[in-house]
Amino acid sequence: MVENTEKARPLGAQEIACWDVRNPIEFIWGLVGQKWSVLILRELFEGTRRPRELLEALPGISSKTLMVRLKELERYGLLERRVYAEVPPRVEYCLTPKGEELKPVLVALKQVGERWLEDGGCALGSVGRSQAG
């Protein structure tokens, strides 16, 4: 049995509008631009994950930071937290349809990054996965 927790209520349009964001890129970046958020989404594009699996897939992220980011992304309506009535309790995260909408955007960014790295990097020099995700 899955219990949907109501702790992280998705933001409504009026709450988001209160941010006084004037362009759509700034708006989206405000939702996913925090450190680790895009990398968490990247992992969830592969399917449902438990917090421990995300910690293992994202070296360097602390448990506390992971939980904060997961709650933020849940509140923005980009992912869903599923709690199963088991002993011990099992918690999983998956993308919502809204979160899935970001996949082609992030795939495009990944492809640009791959091309730039193949061309010898950019002005910042060579960047490895541990530095750029």
Residues 48 and 109 reside in one and the same domain: no
Residues 61 and 12 reside in one and the same domain: yes
Q: Which residues contact 95 (CB under 8 A, 6 or more apart)?
A: 41, 44, 45, 78, 79, 80
Residues 72 and 129 reside in one and the same domain: no
CATH of the domain at 82: 1.10.10.10
Q: Per the structure block, which two tokens stand in for 36?
A: 């680790």
Residues 88 and 37 reside in one and the same domain: yes
Residues 22 and 81 reside in one and the same domain: yes
Residue 17 confidence (pLDDT): 52
Contact yes or no for 89/81 (Cβ under 8 A): no
Domain count, the chain: 2
Residue 123 confidence (pLDDT): 56
Distance CA 90, CA 87 (A): 8
Residues 53 and 17 reside in one and the same domain: yes
What strand order describes the sheet that includes 90-95?
A: 2-4, 79-84, 90-95
pLDDT of 100 higher than 50: yes
Higher pLDDT, 110 or 50: 50
Residue 130 confidence (pLDDT): 46
Residues 26 and 81 reside in one and the same domain: yes
- CA neighbor of 133 nearest in space, from 45, 20, 40, 51: 40
pLDDT, tens only, 6-37: 455 555 554 555 556 678 888 888 888 889 99
Q: What is the mean pLDDT of residues 85-91?
A: 92
Residues 6 and 45 reside in one and the same domain: yes
Q: Of 3-7, 14-18, 92-96, 116-120, which one has max mean pLDDT?
A: 92-96
Q: State which residues form the domain around 85.
A: 2-98
Residue 84 — φ and ψ, nearest 5°?
Answer: -100, 135
Single-letter amino acid, residue 76: Y
pLDDT, tens only, 42-87: 999 999 999 999 999 999 999 999 999 999 999 999 999 999 999 9
pLDDT of 97 higher than 90: yes
Distance CA 88, CA 111 (A): 40
Residues 39 and 62 reside in one and the same domain: yes
Residues 54 and 114 reside in one and the same domain: no
